[in-house]
Amino acid sequence: MKSRKLKHTRRRATILTAAAASAVAGITLLPNWNAGASTTVEPQVDAKTKAAFQSLADAVFTDRTNALVDRPRHGGEETIAEGVSGKVELSSGIDRTENTARKQLGDRKNRLARDGERYSAGSTEVTLDRTEVKGRTAVVRVTENSTLTYAKVTGREPGTTGFQAHHELTFEADKNGSWKVTKIREAADGYLAVNQLTQPKTITAAAKTTTTTPAAPRSAITKRPPAAPKNLTGGEYDYQAMAAYAEKHWTNYNPAYPNFNGAGAGGDCTNFVSQSLKAGGWKHVPGYVYDYTRWFGTTDIQSHSFVGVNEWSWFAQNSKRTTSLANVYQMDVGDVLQIDFDEDGAKDHTMIVTSRRNGVPYLTYHSTNTLRRSLTSIISSYPNAAYYAYRT
């Protein structure tokens, strides 16, 4: 018995001695029953992780674009996002949200097909703009550049339409250091890309008061209206120059003017259209910036009518530089379209026609940067909005 007790005592002493030595070395000696417990892995956001963030974002927005295409290059039931490798993936909630989004975009594709518009191909590229990490959360800003090729339904469609959108993805790290997307939101003004389902931002209507500002009549959106031919050559304005300017600067912003994206509802859309009109011959009307009967825009100063949606409408009508069209499908190159998305009386967005094919106007605009989106597509996305068409 004594020998056993001595042995036990020596064993206990040995453990205590080892524990003390481990403590000195900065190591905690754990009893055997705790040796298999899991530990939390601190997340690492190195270049490889950032590349994985970008790859997953690219897959998400490519899947959205593919939902609009007749025969996407990456066919099959599995989405591209499901096949992304690495320690990044969609959370179950975001996966369900994206499934719903793709179904809604598929419905949009079917509506467009019934209206005579289809896309035969699509491509999306996503670039990583910024990554901010706080603890186990990473907020990633990306820019999406997408192109859709018009299928030749009538044979006279433009070649492609394109758009550029900005997004913010939130990633959360689990205890093993893997990242899951828990939130995706649009990170710019407008929300007017063809593969976006977020409702567009609107401008709040002022309280109804007696006003002397001109009120533009609402335009019908039915197809095949009576003809309203426009003389595109030999007049006071160069409409092709307007279109050329817009198609040159739809993503390549002109540094001679300020960029109003991020400055509130409406963004840079009216500023961009005013620049295009100016390129085609509209002259400045100098004066006080708040006076809607004045119109001017330079690097340093702009009238409210140059950059504001409703103020532009008031100037355009008061100056007689435009006339209202009864139907939006009567628009031609250089004409302007405005939309009131929530029909509250305040116009929210301004676009310019840069092409007309087979009776369909194609519009180019900022907020969201977009090239030659068909009027058919816009109405299909916002069928309940109020539309205002201006002959310039």
pLDDT at 14: 40
Average pLDDT over residues 331-356: 96
pLDDT band at 128 (very low <50, low <70, confident <90, very high): very high
Burial 28-41 (b: 16+ CB within 10 A, else e): eeeeeeeeeeeeee
- Using one digit for the tens of pLDDT, what is the confidence trace for 103-114? 999 999 999 999
Give me the DSSP letters along 33-86.
Answer: GGTT---PPPP---HHHHHHHHHHHHHHHHHHHHTTSSS-SS-SSS-TGGG--S
Question: Tell me: the pLDDT tens digits for 129-187?
Answer: 999 999 999 999 999 999 999 999 988 999 999 999 999 999 999 988 899 999 999 88
Q: Tens digits of per-residue pLDDT, 54-108?
A: 999 999 999 999 999 998 765 555 688 887 767 899 999 999 999 999 999 999 9
pLDDT at 212 over 80: no
Q: How far apart are CA 259 and CA 268, in angstroms?
A: 6
> Average pLDDT for residues 109-122, to the nearest whole number?
95
For residue 200, what pLDDT is reported?
A: 78
pTM above 0.95, yes or no: no
**Of 69, 78, 84, the residue nearest 122 (C-alpha):** 69
Q: What is the average pLDDT across 303-332? A: 97
Q: Write out pLDDT tens, residues 251-273.
A: 999 999 999 987 665 689 999 99
